[in-house]
Structure 1
């Protein structure tokens, strides 16, 4: 399975636009679930009460230990996911991590109401040191090399050569967010676009070769980009010989014949009465990442789940390990989303207006020469097959100058109707990707800007 994401934020002149880290640190940054007495995130896979000198950790991968996450640390992630799901019934794929990373970098450069709105909507602590420590821990954890999976995370800020950037901001971006600042000449739009696209393409293994074009570069002053690429192998792989074509109910009256994979093994699983749905955790090799799928019991049941996404963490705490017979469709699609309207709806408004304040990005901004966000674009894609999955994403923010049971008791999950899925880094409890499969045969989908509500 492969996943990728690219997020880019645009910044241009207003005058040209009239219209696995230390476990104790992880616990202090991310918290410990209420009432949980098990191992810390960095200790997942090590049973309690075991004489550590007698444990050969190479053998613990044969067992699977699930540590529930607290229900209040990822409110922004689920809120944005819910908004995207509300506006369209098509497939979608969002990278909350890619989007938050880009906006976190901008929050560091903001002041006044601009900074207050960003921090409030994102759910950031008022203490910037706490936020910096959190992102530093997440990125450091994601950058750990493991032969069982591939994960590339990167971020860059492209600044026009005419801008005199602030050294303090550059240092903070590099130290805590592992973000490199690059000086370019946006007047040479073709060359600059090619340079940016080459960097994104390299990190996403060629899956996003053309994130931006020269027209998007023209007039820009600052581009903030984050990229994410994930390739994982299922811990419990599907046998390709058992893949069969069956009906997927896109709607109660529309069926499509798609290839379904099947595997029967031990999984963490729950039947949720609140959602009238089944929740399944599907781990990848490496004891770090898992995909979760939430399949409604009725053909029209997904909106009920989406309406109460904020309660999903609570429902996930009920999962227990048991034998589950899993039938999952193969799917592969790309998704493009322009997120300006969604962010404005959530309360991030001033960052898009002439009164935006980002003095940390550049020196000497006057009332006529301020920076504001002109566009937030995220492009992502996913492929799920018998061996695993691949996911990728890129986010762009542009600123202008004004991402052991009996067989009869075995569970069963048949994902033959629209369902929710997400991929989580269980060490840091960070959502890498969230999405919905409405049609496994749809290769592309997009979410365009809308007029935000009052």
Structure 2
């Protein structure tokens, strides 16, 4: 059987949370939770499978994975095709909403325009790039769609020289993540590849309500042990809910700029992270967010920093996206040239993230 050329999908995500002194002239115009409709079934299905199998703290971005899978859907055939391949049917599950491609294109363009607009209160860098072998041409129509709706661009690299190709890719990742992730790929990891598709996200935000610089040092109760840790602590009004449905408390910590926030879910005593995760559904989480209201809260959070990396082939197959990894993968609109067109399959989906 003829072997297919390899397409490698990689994601890297970095979040940097920073303190800043209170600014009496600062006015936050929009500091309330988003309570609109979210299409997050794919997101939570993926998160639950990754967290369930991970043996360490986990950080991941379903959005970073979704945008790459949507790009593969765009490559799986014309939107008007009546006869759909299994590849296309499986990838359709990541579209928003209800498998509507036009709605998906509009939403991603709106999200990217909003997220990437320059703002003095935070730094956000999000970039998507195809690295393709020098003898392969990405089909012009597909390239236009990828750029117009998803801001994805194309660079040629010599995959026949894996060390050189890895260096080019890693330099791009390093620049995009401001040096936080300096090595996403190795020469061995991309050997045999003809296309590598990468989404990189870097976010540096300032708390709307900064924590005092010198917080207490106290005991942190981890799952299997107790450790001494530095904490951040403050009292104030925050959006909060004590959810009986989730058996947990929810807290919203906003970032300056009015677009982004961190949501913290703390299980009730006697309940575990795993217990809460089982109870989280798009509907139950949506309800809890609706119930959040401004409340006087004493917030005490351990300072933390960690990295996480995970291959996502198996979690994606577990939720029904399988054919892109097989010899039957059909991505005819992606590229042409030796080793391209219907000869491409996905060999690896990998995400590396840090906070």
TM-score, L = length of structure 1: 0.68
Equivalent residue in structure 2 for 1:234, among 197, 201, 207 = 207
Contact 2:231 2:302 in 1 (8 A): yes
Q: CA deviation at 1:167?
A: 0.6
Aligned residue runs from structure 1 range 136-151, under 5 A: 136-151=109-124
TM-score, L = length of structure 2: 0.87
Equivalent residue in structure 2 for 1:303, among 259, 270, 274 = 274
2:86 alignment partner in structure 1: 113
Contact 1:14 1:371 in 2 (8 A): no
Contact 1:249 1:299 in 2 (8 A): no
Q: Using the alignment, how far apart are the partners of 2:276 and 2:55 within structure 1?
A: 14
2:243 alignment partner in structure 1: 272
CA distance 1:123–1:340, change in 2 (3 Å) = farther
Aligned residue runs from structure 1 range 338-349, under 5 A: 338-349=311-322
Residues 223-277 of structure 1: CA deviation (Å, up to 9, x unaligned): 1000000011111111123x112111112x5211111110111100010111221
Q: CA deviation at 1:330?
A: 0.2
Q: Using the alignment, how far apart are the partners of 1:175 and 1:197 within structure 2?
A: 25
1:101 alignment partner in structure 2: 67
1:245 alignment partner in structure 2: 217
Q: Using the alignment, how far apart are the partners of 1:135 and 1:62 within structure 2?
A: 24
CA distance 1:203–1:81, change in 2 (3 Å) = same
Q: CA deviation at 1:62?
A: 6.8
Residues 327-349 of structure 1: CA deviation (Å, up to 9, x unaligned): 00000000001000000000001
1:64 alignment partner in structure 2: 31
Q: CA deviation at 1:369?
A: 6.2
Contact 1:121 1:346 in 2 (8 A): no
Q: Using the alignment, how far apart are the partners of 1:343 and 1:62 within structure 2?
A: 39
CA distance 1:283–1:15, change in 2 (3 Å) = closer
Q: CA deviation at 1:165?
A: 2.4
RMSD over aligned CA atoms reads: 2.2
Q: Using the alignment, how far apart are the partners of 2:199 and 2:302 within structure 1?
A: 30
Q: Using the alignment, how far apart are the partners of 1:315 and 1:321 within structure 2?
A: 13
Q: CA deviation at 1:61?
A: 1.5
Q: Using the alignment, how far apart are the partners of 2:34 and 2:196 within structure 1?
A: 38
Equivalent residue in structure 1 for 2:189, among 197, 216, 220 = 216
Contact 2:91 2:321 in 1 (8 A): yes
Aligned residue runs from structure 1 range 14-413, under 5 A: 14=3, 60-61=27-28, 64-70=31-37, 72-111=38-77, 112-121=85-94, 125-241=98-214, 243-251=215-223, 254-310=225-281, 311-363=284-336, 370-382=343-355
Aligned residue pairs, count: 327
1:51 alignment partner in structure 2: none
Contact 2:232 2:303 in 1 (8 A): yes
1:390 alignment partner in structure 2: none
Unaligned stretches of 5+ residues in structure 1: 1-12, 18-57, 383-454
Q: CA deviation at 1:65?
A: 3.0
Q: Using the alignment, how far apart are the partners of 1:262 and 1:212 within structure 2?
A: 38
Q: Could you tell which deviates more after superposition, 149-158 or 84-93?
A: 84-93
Q: Using the alignment, how far apart are the partners of 1:90 and 1:299 within structure 2?
A: 21
Q: Classify the secondary structure of the residue corresponding to 2:291.
A: coil
Unaligned stretches of 5+ residues in structure 2: 7-24, 78-84
